[in-house]
Amino acid sequence: MAVQIRNVARDTYLLDCGRDPFFSTSNIAYFLDDEMPVLIDPGSGAAAAELLDGMSQMGIDLQKLSYIIPTHIHLDHGGGAGYLAQHLSKPKVVLHPKGAAHMTDTSVLVRGARLIFGQDFEQSLGQVVPIPRERVHVASDGEVIRLGKREIRIIFSPGHAAHHIALFDSLTNGLFCGDALGFLAESMPDIPFPVGLSPFDPRAYVQTIDKLAALRPEVIFYAHHGPRTEVDQLIGKVKEICLAFDDIIRRGIMSGEDDQHISQHILDYSSGLAQQAELPVFARVGISGYIQYYRNHRNNC
């Protein structure tokens, strides 16, 4: 599929690289056009290859990139960062300190991908190429990167992953949230579901929601959906759903229910939010991390 590019805010472009073959989610990256251009969430190796080819065909020279910033190192967000670093000589790759080592030595990342996606995952998602250490910029919480007309502030945002960051843009007052503020499906575009794939920390996730809400963004740039301006409504909803999930799961565990019954309670609650019987696969598989967390922390239920 050819990359689709769309101007979504001042000097801010959404890059649609098609569908993820496993979850059928949109592969979306963002390009910030500035004196020091930035690419956010390059996606998998396959998506990054599409980006590199598609952008050049549209006359955008990615060789001029200054930074590549995955919000986290999961393959659908950062798996292609090494591929781009291999083909582009200039940009630094900005990573959370807990994710940097896994991108310079990708053996653990690849081993986990084989367990989740199968031994031949590279055929669909592309290769996970290590990033040379000298090309990595290890971020700090609150760090500001000046690009020219705009500044990008890095906000550590754990919960979905310990190595997750969000990015606040001074030019648009926009927040590039990765998966820290939930997942919006096309079939349920106003219901941001928490993305609770294991390992997952639901308490840190809620703390992150509050931390990001305090920034008062005017627009949220969702990783798999695109920009939305109903900021207070969406942030309030994802927190409400998180707390409801917590309550349902903790009560189920304390009552001695098995995972299947607890999952069904969650599915019943979630379906009722939009009067929809079939939930997006991302919402369904995301329940497992919640349940595992509370089983591992049963004494805190």
* 255, burial (CB in 10 Å: exposed 0-12, middle 13-18, buried 19+): exposed
**What are the Cα distances from residue 164, in Å, to 87, 128, 263, 269, 281?**
25, 18, 26, 27, 22
The two three-digit tokens of residue 275, written as one number: 């009067």
Is residue 252 in a domain? no
pLDDT, averaged across the chain: 91
Is residue 85 in a domain? yes
User: How far is Cα 280 from Cα 284, in angstroms, rounded to an integer?
Assistant: 7
Is residue 283 in a domain? no
Q: Which residues are paired to 166 by β-bridges?
A: 155
pLDDT above 90 covers what percent of the chain?
69
Is residue 290 in a domain? no
The pLDDT of 28-44, averaged and rounded, is: 96
- Domain ranges, residue 138: 4-240
Please answer whether residues 80 and 42 qualify as being in contact, where contact means their C-beta atoms are separated by less than 8 angstroms. yes
Q: If we measure between CA atoms, which residue out of 27, 74, 72 comes closest to residue 224?
A: 27
Is residue 249 in a domain? no
The two three-digit tokens of residue 241, written as one number: 């759903």
User: How far is Cα 89 from Cα 82, in angstroms, rounded to an integer?
Assistant: 12
Please answer whether residues 75 and 102 qualify as being in contact, where contact means their C-beta atoms are separated by less than 8 angstroms. no
Question: How do residues 73-99 score in pLDDT, each as one tens digit?
Answer: 999 999 999 999 999 999 999 999 999
Least confident of 124-133, 137-146, 189-198, 228-237: 189-198
Is residue 257 in a domain? no
Is residue 251 in a domain? no
Please answer whether residues 280 and 235 qualify as being in contact, where contact means their C-beta atoms are separated by less than 8 angstroms. no
> Which CATH number belongs to the domain containing residue 128 in this structure?
3.60.15.10
> What is this structure's pTM?
0.94
CA of residue 191 relative to chain centroid, distance: 16
Tell me what pLDDT residue 1 has.
57
Determine the 3-state secondary structure of 125 from DSSP. helix
Query: What is the total count of domains within the chain?
Result: 1
User: How far is Cα 295 from Cα 259, in angstroms, rounded to an integer?
Assistant: 10
Is residue 84 in a domain? yes
Tell me what pLDDT residue 214 has.
98
